[in-house]
Amino acid sequence: MSWEENVRKVVPYTPGEQPKVKNIIKLNTNENPYPPAPAVVEALKNMDAESFKKYPDPTCDVLVEAIADFYEVDKENVFVGVGSDDVLAMAFMTFFNSDKPVLFPDITYSFYDVWAELFRIPYKQIPLLDDFSVRIEDYFGENGGVVLANPNAPTGAQLPIDAVEEVIKRNPDVVVIVDEAYADFGGQSVLPLIDKYDNLLVVQTFSKSRSMAGMRIGYAFGCKKLIKYLLDVKFAYNSYTMNMPALELGSLAIKDRAYFEKTVSMIVNTRERVKKELRGLGFEFADSKTNFVFAKHKEKSGKEIFDYLRANNIIVRRWDAPRIKEHLRISIGTDEEMDILIAKLKEFLG
Protein backbone atom coordinates (compact mmCIF):
# COMPACT_ATOMS: atom_id res chain seq x y z
CA MET A 1 0.00 0.00 0.00
CA SER A 2 1.29 3.46 -0.88
CA TRP A 3 -0.17 6.95 -1.07
CA GLU A 4 0.21 6.67 -4.83
CA GLU A 5 -2.69 4.23 -4.97
CA ASN A 6 -5.09 7.00 -4.02
CA VAL A 7 -3.80 9.54 -6.49
CA ARG A 8 -6.26 10.79 -9.09
CA LYS A 9 -4.21 9.96 -12.14
CA VAL A 10 -5.01 11.89 -15.29
CA VAL A 11 -3.70 12.56 -18.76
CA PRO A 12 -3.53 16.34 -18.82
CA TYR A 13 -4.47 18.66 -21.68
CA THR A 14 -1.50 19.91 -23.69
CA PRO A 15 -1.69 23.66 -24.28
CA GLY A 16 -0.16 25.22 -27.38
CA GLU A 17 3.49 26.15 -27.16
CA GLN A 18 4.32 29.53 -25.57
CA PRO A 19 7.81 30.11 -26.98
CA LYS A 20 10.13 32.23 -24.89
CA VAL A 21 12.19 33.53 -27.80
CA LYS A 22 11.23 36.68 -29.71
CA ASN A 23 11.01 37.09 -33.50
CA ILE A 24 8.46 34.36 -33.83
CA ILE A 25 5.16 34.76 -35.63
CA LYS A 26 2.88 33.03 -33.19
CA LEU A 27 -0.27 31.72 -34.89
CA ASN A 28 -0.79 28.67 -32.67
CA THR A 29 -3.06 29.64 -29.77
CA ASN A 30 -5.64 31.96 -31.37
CA GLU A 31 -4.51 35.01 -29.46
CA ASN A 32 -5.55 38.47 -30.60
CA PRO A 33 -2.80 40.33 -32.47
CA TYR A 34 -4.00 43.72 -31.22
CA PRO A 35 -3.35 45.18 -27.76
CA PRO A 36 -6.04 45.41 -25.09
CA ALA A 37 -8.35 48.46 -25.06
CA PRO A 38 -6.58 51.81 -24.42
CA ALA A 39 -8.26 52.22 -21.03
CA VAL A 40 -6.49 49.03 -19.87
CA VAL A 41 -3.10 50.43 -20.84
CA GLU A 42 -3.90 53.69 -19.03
CA ALA A 43 -5.29 52.07 -15.86
CA LEU A 44 -2.28 49.79 -15.55
CA LYS A 45 -0.05 52.86 -15.30
CA ASN A 46 -2.11 54.20 -12.42
CA MET A 47 -2.67 50.96 -10.55
CA ASP A 48 -1.84 51.07 -6.87
CA ALA A 49 0.47 48.21 -5.87
CA GLU A 50 -0.27 48.84 -2.19
CA SER A 51 -3.85 47.68 -2.77
CA PHE A 52 -2.46 44.18 -3.44
CA LYS A 53 -2.03 43.66 0.29
CA LYS A 54 -5.79 43.22 0.67
CA TYR A 55 -7.85 40.31 -0.67
CA PRO A 56 -9.74 41.08 -3.85
CA ASP A 57 -13.53 41.32 -3.81
CA PRO A 58 -14.70 37.67 -3.73
CA THR A 59 -17.93 38.56 -5.55
CA CYS A 60 -15.91 40.15 -8.39
CA ASP A 61 -18.51 42.88 -8.48
CA VAL A 62 -16.77 45.45 -10.65
CA LEU A 63 -16.13 42.89 -13.39
CA VAL A 64 -19.50 41.16 -13.15
CA GLU A 65 -21.26 44.51 -13.35
CA ALA A 66 -19.26 45.63 -16.39
CA ILE A 67 -20.08 42.38 -18.18
CA ALA A 68 -23.76 42.59 -17.21
CA ASP A 69 -23.92 46.18 -18.49
CA PHE A 70 -22.26 45.34 -21.79
CA TYR A 71 -24.57 42.42 -22.50
CA GLU A 72 -27.68 43.97 -20.94
CA VAL A 73 -28.35 41.18 -18.49
CA ASP A 74 -28.62 41.18 -14.70
CA LYS A 75 -25.56 40.67 -12.53
CA GLU A 76 -27.14 37.47 -11.24
CA ASN A 77 -26.95 36.05 -14.78
CA VAL A 78 -23.17 36.37 -14.88
CA PHE A 79 -20.38 34.13 -13.60
CA VAL A 80 -16.65 34.87 -13.95
CA GLY A 81 -13.57 32.69 -13.65
CA VAL A 82 -9.85 32.33 -14.35
CA GLY A 83 -10.25 32.02 -18.11
CA SER A 84 -13.08 30.12 -19.76
CA ASP A 85 -11.20 26.93 -18.86
CA ASP A 86 -11.83 27.58 -15.18
CA VAL A 87 -15.47 28.44 -15.93
CA LEU A 88 -15.94 25.28 -18.01
CA ALA A 89 -14.17 23.05 -15.46
CA MET A 90 -16.44 24.34 -12.69
CA ALA A 91 -19.49 23.91 -14.90
CA PHE A 92 -18.54 20.28 -15.62
CA MET A 93 -18.08 19.68 -11.88
CA THR A 94 -21.32 21.44 -10.99
CA PHE A 95 -23.74 20.17 -13.61
CA PHE A 96 -22.51 16.84 -14.94
CA ASN A 97 -23.20 14.35 -12.17
CA SER A 98 -25.40 11.87 -13.99
CA ASP A 99 -24.70 8.22 -14.76
CA LYS A 100 -25.58 8.91 -18.37
CA PRO A 101 -22.89 10.14 -20.73
CA VAL A 102 -22.25 13.78 -21.47
CA LEU A 103 -22.23 14.31 -25.23
CA PHE A 104 -19.83 16.35 -27.33
CA PRO A 105 -18.27 16.00 -30.79
CA ASP A 106 -15.21 13.86 -31.48
CA ILE A 107 -13.46 16.85 -33.00
CA THR A 108 -13.86 19.81 -30.68
CA TYR A 109 -12.02 21.62 -27.92
CA SER A 110 -9.80 18.86 -26.62
CA PHE A 111 -10.22 19.87 -22.98
CA TYR A 112 -13.78 18.48 -22.76
CA ASP A 113 -12.76 14.85 -22.47
CA VAL A 114 -9.91 15.81 -20.12
CA TRP A 115 -12.38 17.44 -17.71
CA ALA A 116 -14.73 14.49 -18.02
CA GLU A 117 -11.87 12.15 -17.10
CA LEU A 118 -10.70 14.40 -14.26
CA PHE A 119 -14.16 14.49 -12.67
CA ARG A 120 -14.96 10.90 -13.64
CA ILE A 121 -17.96 11.94 -15.72
CA PRO A 122 -19.16 9.37 -18.27
CA TYR A 123 -19.02 10.84 -21.78
CA LYS A 124 -19.53 9.98 -25.41
CA GLN A 125 -17.76 11.66 -28.29
CA ILE A 126 -20.02 11.89 -31.32
CA PRO A 127 -18.31 11.96 -34.72
CA LEU A 128 -18.73 15.13 -36.73
CA LEU A 129 -19.86 14.54 -40.31
CA ASP A 130 -17.14 14.36 -42.95
CA ASP A 131 -17.41 18.08 -43.66
CA PHE A 132 -16.87 18.69 -39.91
CA SER A 133 -20.46 19.79 -39.36
CA VAL A 134 -22.56 18.78 -36.33
CA ARG A 135 -25.63 16.59 -36.94
CA ILE A 136 -27.89 17.96 -34.20
CA GLU A 137 -30.09 14.85 -34.10
CA ASP A 138 -27.10 13.04 -32.56
CA TYR A 139 -27.71 15.10 -29.42
CA PHE A 140 -31.40 14.31 -28.97
CA GLY A 141 -31.03 10.95 -27.19
CA GLU A 142 -30.76 10.30 -23.46
CA ASN A 143 -27.66 11.88 -21.98
CA GLY A 144 -26.12 13.50 -18.89
CA GLY A 145 -25.42 16.84 -20.53
CA VAL A 146 -24.35 18.37 -23.83
CA VAL A 147 -21.36 20.54 -24.69
CA LEU A 148 -21.15 22.33 -28.02
CA ALA A 149 -18.47 24.80 -28.98
CA ASN A 150 -20.03 27.26 -31.42
CA PRO A 151 -18.22 28.15 -33.57
CA ASN A 152 -16.46 24.86 -33.05
CA ALA A 153 -12.73 24.59 -32.42
CA PRO A 154 -10.50 23.60 -34.06
CA THR A 155 -12.77 23.33 -37.11
CA GLY A 156 -13.98 26.94 -37.09
CA ALA A 157 -17.41 25.87 -38.35
CA GLN A 158 -20.53 27.54 -36.95
CA LEU A 159 -23.93 25.96 -36.33
CA PRO A 160 -26.91 28.22 -37.03
CA ILE A 161 -28.52 29.60 -33.86
CA ASP A 162 -31.76 27.75 -34.66
CA ALA A 163 -29.94 24.44 -34.64
CA VAL A 164 -28.28 25.18 -31.29
CA GLU A 165 -31.65 26.21 -29.88
CA GLU A 166 -33.12 22.91 -31.05
CA VAL A 167 -30.44 21.03 -29.06
CA ILE A 168 -31.16 23.10 -25.95
CA LYS A 169 -34.91 22.63 -26.33
CA ARG A 170 -34.66 18.85 -26.82
CA ASN A 171 -32.59 18.49 -23.61
CA PRO A 172 -34.61 20.16 -20.85
CA ASP A 173 -33.43 17.65 -18.22
CA VAL A 174 -29.72 18.32 -18.57
CA VAL A 175 -27.54 21.37 -18.77
CA VAL A 176 -26.42 22.33 -22.27
CA ILE A 177 -23.13 24.24 -22.33
CA VAL A 178 -22.55 26.38 -25.40
CA ASP A 179 -18.89 27.34 -25.49
CA GLU A 180 -18.76 30.61 -27.41
CA ALA A 181 -15.05 31.37 -27.05
CA TYR A 182 -14.99 32.43 -30.72
CA ALA A 183 -18.56 33.68 -31.16
CA ASP A 184 -17.55 37.35 -31.44
CA PHE A 185 -15.84 36.57 -34.74
CA GLY A 186 -18.96 34.86 -36.08
CA GLY A 187 -21.47 37.46 -34.97
CA GLN A 188 -23.92 35.00 -33.42
CA SER A 189 -24.64 34.07 -29.81
CA VAL A 190 -27.31 32.10 -27.98
CA LEU A 191 -27.08 34.54 -25.06
CA PRO A 192 -30.64 35.87 -25.69
CA LEU A 193 -31.91 32.33 -25.02
CA ILE A 194 -30.94 32.26 -21.32
CA ASP A 195 -34.33 33.76 -20.46
CA LYS A 196 -36.13 31.10 -22.43
CA TYR A 197 -34.20 27.99 -21.31
CA ASP A 198 -33.13 27.48 -17.71
CA ASN A 199 -30.77 24.63 -18.75
CA LEU A 200 -28.51 26.81 -20.90
CA LEU A 201 -25.02 27.95 -19.92
CA VAL A 202 -23.24 30.22 -22.41
CA VAL A 203 -19.48 30.52 -21.91
CA GLN A 204 -17.28 33.27 -23.34
CA THR A 205 -13.76 34.60 -22.80
CA PHE A 206 -11.52 37.66 -22.74
CA SER A 207 -8.70 35.65 -24.32
CA LYS A 208 -9.66 36.01 -27.97
CA SER A 209 -11.80 38.98 -29.00
CA ARG A 210 -10.81 41.05 -25.93
CA SER A 211 -7.00 40.69 -26.27
CA MET A 212 -6.59 39.62 -22.65
CA ALA A 213 -5.37 36.00 -22.76
CA GLY A 214 -2.59 36.95 -20.34
CA MET A 215 -5.09 38.17 -17.77
CA ARG A 216 -7.11 34.92 -17.52
CA ILE A 217 -10.73 36.02 -17.59
CA GLY A 218 -13.63 33.86 -18.67
CA TYR A 219 -17.34 34.35 -18.06
CA ALA A 220 -20.65 32.64 -18.43
CA PHE A 221 -24.33 33.49 -18.69
CA GLY A 222 -27.29 31.51 -17.50
CA CYS A 223 -30.57 31.84 -15.66
CA LYS A 224 -30.15 33.03 -12.07
CA LYS A 225 -30.75 29.62 -10.52
CA LEU A 226 -28.10 28.00 -12.69
CA ILE A 227 -25.54 30.74 -12.00
CA LYS A 228 -26.25 30.43 -8.27
CA TYR A 229 -25.35 26.71 -8.35
CA LEU A 230 -22.12 27.54 -10.16
CA LEU A 231 -21.28 30.26 -7.63
CA ASP A 232 -21.83 27.82 -4.77
CA VAL A 233 -19.27 25.45 -6.27
CA LYS A 234 -16.86 28.33 -6.93
CA PHE A 235 -17.16 29.43 -3.29
CA ALA A 236 -16.62 25.83 -2.21
CA TYR A 237 -13.42 25.69 -4.28
CA ASN A 238 -11.70 29.08 -3.97
CA SER A 239 -13.21 32.25 -2.51
CA TYR A 240 -11.00 34.59 -4.44
CA THR A 241 -10.43 33.30 -7.94
CA MET A 242 -9.87 36.63 -9.70
CA ASN A 243 -6.98 38.82 -8.64
CA MET A 244 -7.11 42.61 -8.48
CA PRO A 245 -5.55 43.35 -11.88
CA ALA A 246 -7.97 40.92 -13.54
CA LEU A 247 -10.96 42.56 -11.87
CA GLU A 248 -9.91 46.13 -12.49
CA LEU A 249 -8.46 45.80 -15.99
CA GLY A 250 -11.07 43.30 -17.12
CA SER A 251 -13.89 45.66 -16.23
CA LEU A 252 -12.24 48.43 -18.27
CA ALA A 253 -11.56 46.15 -21.23
CA ILE A 254 -15.20 45.23 -21.63
CA LYS A 255 -16.48 48.80 -21.45
CA ASP A 256 -14.84 49.95 -24.67
CA ARG A 257 -17.36 48.74 -27.23
CA ALA A 258 -15.96 50.80 -30.10
CA TYR A 259 -12.44 49.40 -29.75
CA PHE A 260 -13.78 45.88 -29.41
CA GLU A 261 -15.87 46.19 -32.56
CA LYS A 262 -13.04 47.79 -34.51
CA THR A 263 -10.45 45.12 -33.66
CA VAL A 264 -12.88 42.24 -34.18
CA SER A 265 -13.77 43.60 -37.59
CA MET A 266 -10.10 44.03 -38.49
CA ILE A 267 -9.51 40.37 -37.65
CA VAL A 268 -12.57 39.27 -39.61
CA ASN A 269 -11.39 41.25 -42.65
CA THR A 270 -7.93 39.73 -42.45
CA ARG A 271 -9.46 36.27 -42.06
CA GLU A 272 -11.60 36.63 -45.18
CA ARG A 273 -8.60 37.78 -47.20
CA VAL A 274 -6.43 34.96 -45.85
CA LYS A 275 -9.11 32.41 -46.72
CA LYS A 276 -8.94 33.47 -50.38
CA GLU A 277 -5.16 33.31 -50.42
CA LEU A 278 -5.12 29.89 -48.77
CA ARG A 279 -7.66 28.56 -51.24
CA GLY A 280 -5.51 29.88 -54.06
CA LEU A 281 -2.59 27.94 -52.62
CA GLY A 282 -4.50 24.66 -52.62
CA PHE A 283 -5.82 24.57 -49.07
CA GLU A 284 -9.28 23.25 -48.19
CA PHE A 285 -11.26 24.13 -45.05
CA ALA A 286 -14.69 24.46 -43.53
CA ASP A 287 -15.86 28.06 -43.62
CA SER A 288 -14.32 29.60 -40.50
CA LYS A 289 -16.32 31.97 -38.32
CA THR A 290 -13.50 32.31 -35.80
CA ASN A 291 -10.08 33.98 -35.57
CA PHE A 292 -8.39 30.95 -37.10
CA VAL A 293 -8.61 28.76 -40.19
CA PHE A 294 -8.43 24.96 -39.93
CA ALA A 295 -6.95 24.00 -43.26
CA LYS A 296 -5.66 20.95 -45.07
CA HIS A 297 -3.56 21.06 -48.19
CA LYS A 298 -4.58 19.06 -51.27
CA GLU A 299 -1.10 17.65 -51.79
CA LYS A 300 1.36 18.37 -49.02
CA SER A 301 1.06 16.72 -45.63
CA GLY A 302 0.17 18.74 -42.54
CA LYS A 303 3.36 17.70 -40.82
CA GLU A 304 5.55 18.84 -43.71
CA ILE A 305 3.97 22.27 -43.88
CA PHE A 306 4.02 22.60 -40.09
CA ASP A 307 7.72 21.77 -39.96
CA TYR A 308 8.57 24.13 -42.81
CA LEU A 309 6.77 27.02 -41.12
CA ARG A 310 8.36 26.19 -37.76
CA ALA A 311 11.79 26.25 -39.36
CA ASN A 312 10.88 29.70 -40.66
CA ASN A 313 9.84 31.01 -37.22
CA ILE A 314 6.11 30.71 -37.80
CA ILE A 315 4.24 28.53 -35.32
CA VAL A 316 0.81 27.14 -36.16
CA ARG A 317 -1.00 24.31 -34.39
CA ARG A 318 -1.48 20.70 -35.41
CA TRP A 319 -2.58 17.47 -33.73
CA ASP A 320 -1.63 13.90 -34.43
CA ALA A 321 -5.25 12.75 -33.96
CA PRO A 322 -6.66 10.41 -36.66
CA ARG A 323 -9.24 12.54 -38.49
CA ILE A 324 -7.32 15.80 -38.37
CA LYS A 325 -3.65 14.94 -38.68
CA GLU A 326 -3.34 16.58 -42.09
CA HIS A 327 -4.88 19.83 -40.81
CA LEU A 328 -3.21 22.97 -39.55
CA ARG A 329 -4.96 25.44 -37.31
CA ILE A 330 -3.70 28.86 -38.28
CA SER A 331 -4.59 31.80 -36.02
CA ILE A 332 -5.38 35.12 -37.69
CA GLY A 333 -2.65 37.61 -36.82
CA THR A 334 -2.06 41.12 -38.14
CA ASP A 335 -2.09 41.71 -41.89
CA GLU A 336 1.69 41.96 -41.84
CA GLU A 337 2.04 38.61 -40.05
CA MET A 338 -0.35 36.93 -42.45
CA ASP A 339 1.51 38.36 -45.45
CA ILE A 340 4.70 36.74 -44.21
CA LEU A 341 2.85 33.45 -43.65
CA ILE A 342 1.40 33.51 -47.16
CA ALA A 343 4.78 34.39 -48.67
CA LYS A 344 6.43 31.47 -46.85
CA LEU A 345 3.66 29.09 -47.91
CA LYS A 346 4.09 30.23 -51.51
CA GLU A 347 7.80 29.54 -51.28
CA PHE A 348 7.16 26.05 -49.97
CA LEU A 349 4.22 25.07 -52.15
CA GLY A 350 5.05 26.95 -55.32
Binding to its own copies in span 172-231, by CB under 8 A = 172-175, 198-199, 207, 211-216, 225, 229, 231
Residue 7 in the binding site for its own copies (CB under 8 A): yes
Does residue 139 interact with its own copies by CB under 8 A?
Answer: no
Of 66, 96, 88, 86, which Cα lies nearest the Cα of 78? Answer: 66
Task: Show contacts with its own copies in window 63-82 (CB under 8 A).
Answer: 82
Considering the rule CB under 8 A, would residue 240 count as an interface residue with its own copies?
yes
Residue in 179, 209, 182 with CA at minimum distance from that of residue 85: 179
Q: Does 105 bind its own copies (CB under 8 A)?
A: no
With binding defined as CB under 8 A, does residue 101 bind its own copies?
A: no
Among 96, 104, 109, 292, binds its own copies (CB under 8 A): 96
Contact string 111-130 vs its own copies (x = CB under 8 A)? ---xx-xx------------
| Nearer to its own copies (CB atom), residue 16 or residue 282 | 16
Among 22, 45, 276, 299, binds its own copies (CB under 8 A): 45
Q: Does 238 bind its own copies (CB under 8 A)?
A: yes
Cβ neighbors of 330 (< 8 A, separation 6 or more) are 27, 274, 278, 292, 293, 294, 295, 316, 317, 341
- Torsion angle, CA of 245/247/250/254, rounded to 10 degrees? -150
SS3 314: strand
Nearer to its own copies, 192 or 245 (CB): 245
What letter does residue 139 receive in the DSSP assignment? G
- Can residue 152 be called a binding residue for its own copies (CB under 8 A)? no
User: Rule CB under 8 A: is residue 276 a binding residue for its own copies?
Assistant: no
C-alpha–C-alpha distance, residues 141 and 138, integer Å: 7
Q: DSSP labels for 26-62?
A: E-SS---SSPPPHHHHHHHHT--GGGGGSPPPTT-HH
C-alpha 56/C-alpha 243 separation (Å) is: 6
Tell me which of 242, 254, 264, 274 binds its own copies, using CB under 8 A: 242
